[in-house]
Chain A
């Protein structure tokens, strides 16, 4: 392999660190996603040609924005489709504008926020929001995104094309939402980020990614968002993701078997991520806003900081679930609360709550509801009911590691294992994820 020249390496480094920022600004200046992307590529091509000759500019980002914009406007004029998008009339205006102003820190941060909020605009279909965010904000290729979501690449590509067309044709503005709209619009962004995280979480065994780990990408997105908008719920979501991620090494065995929270080797939990997550939780809760992500993160933090399942403050967890139900009233949250109640008050109390949920017709097709019921019945020595519930859960499970796990549990119950062996540590306590409306693997 030929030795890379230092300027070439610098261009690569600048691409990795700044291409998304440059893109965000170019979208604002040119008023069009596709034009901005092309301008970005032209600018980097020009950098590869000119920087070896003229030296690396003092402000590479400003240079790239200015060059990209110039080339784009030049190209548009030549194609006689020039539309004065941001008030710049002609070549004279371009010369007069201060290139450095475009790379001003605050303006850039605003542009990155504009980009995120535009990609997550509620007028775009939810799966389009996810695809567009990964493509434009994170810089993943269409192929990488398609592979990660087990979707054919042409389908994904079409989804992105249609989303950009909608932005253009319906005139979705490239803006940060106003104060009044911010909380709701931020909710959409957080939903997208958490969805990406959950896809990465669930795909930890089977569909591995070519270059990008989706969970890591979501955390990176969360960090960016937190840097640009230190809102308590943003802190809460970042904390929640870090705390879930901290258990990655411990939640599957080397052979890919699922390990329940209470059976995980806590020495394998990432303490740095836990410390960071717990710190963010404290910060989020101090705001007294108590949003859904902050509360879910708080629950995860109680688990993360407990030395063992038996030493976990289950009363506090139940209290947090009570608060969570206020902001996110859902049967799945009720189910998780029931599991925590079982740990605090004994399996009979938990089973009563689970039966109440199923009895009114909720979660009857939700495998984790039946799995939880099965575990509680098992601990109460109700072997026949446990068996039936495990079988119901199995019938509803699609993921291989979960199937094998449930099959083992079913075998234990069918083999007539001693219910007295069920200690607090083998209880059904699992932190299932609720934000995306579906639960991930138990761990």
Chain B
């Protein structure tokens, strides 16, 4: 089953997790054949939020919500069950400085 691991980290802790570590983590998942996608994100200063209301497109600067910990990246992983997903999430380096939300993916009702 697919789980999305959303990585949240405070702005000032971004430097505490070197890119090299995250890269190695992603590779390790890839070698195990469980990595479906993973990306680091640029900080929230670069974010833009888009909403469409009554047919009108509104564009605002910044993330959709101001939070202390911000979305820093994601891993989309294939795991047998939640326990395995949790074990994988615990290996993601930012987990020791911030939070990793683990959310199961849902198939759309088409």
Give A residues with C-beta under 8 Å from B: 123, 169-173, 175, 181
Contacts and interface: CB of A to CB of B under 8 A. Distances in A.
A173 B104 contact: no
Contacts of B86: 123
A175 B83 contact: yes
B65 to A, nearest CB: 23
B82 interface: yes
B22 to A, nearest CB: 24
Interface residues of B, number: 8
Interface in B52-110: 80-83, 86, 104, 106
A124 to B, nearest CB: 10
A172 B104 contact: no
Q: Which of B80, B82, B86 has the most chain A CB atoms inside 10 A of its CB?
A: B82
A169 B104 contact: yes
Given A169-B104, A181-B83, 13 more contacts: A123-B82, A123-B86, A169-B106, A170-B82, A170-B104, A171-B1, A171-B81, A171-B82, A172-B81, A172-B83, A173-B81, A173-B83, A175-B83
Nearest to A167: B82
Q: Which of B83, B86, B104, B106 has the most chain A CB atoms inside 10 A of its CB?
A: B83
19 contacts: A123-B82, A123-B86, A169-B104, A169-B106, A170-B82, A170-B104, A171-B1, A171-B81, A171-B82, A171-B104, A172-B81, A172-B82, A172-B83, A173-B80, A173-B81, A173-B82, A173-B83, A175-B83, A181-B83
A25 to B, nearest CB: 19
A268 to B, nearest CB: 47
A19 to B, nearest CB: 27
A221 B80 CA distance: 30
B59 to A, nearest CB: 34
Contacts of A123: 82, 86
Contacts of B82: 123, 170-173
Contacts of B106: 169
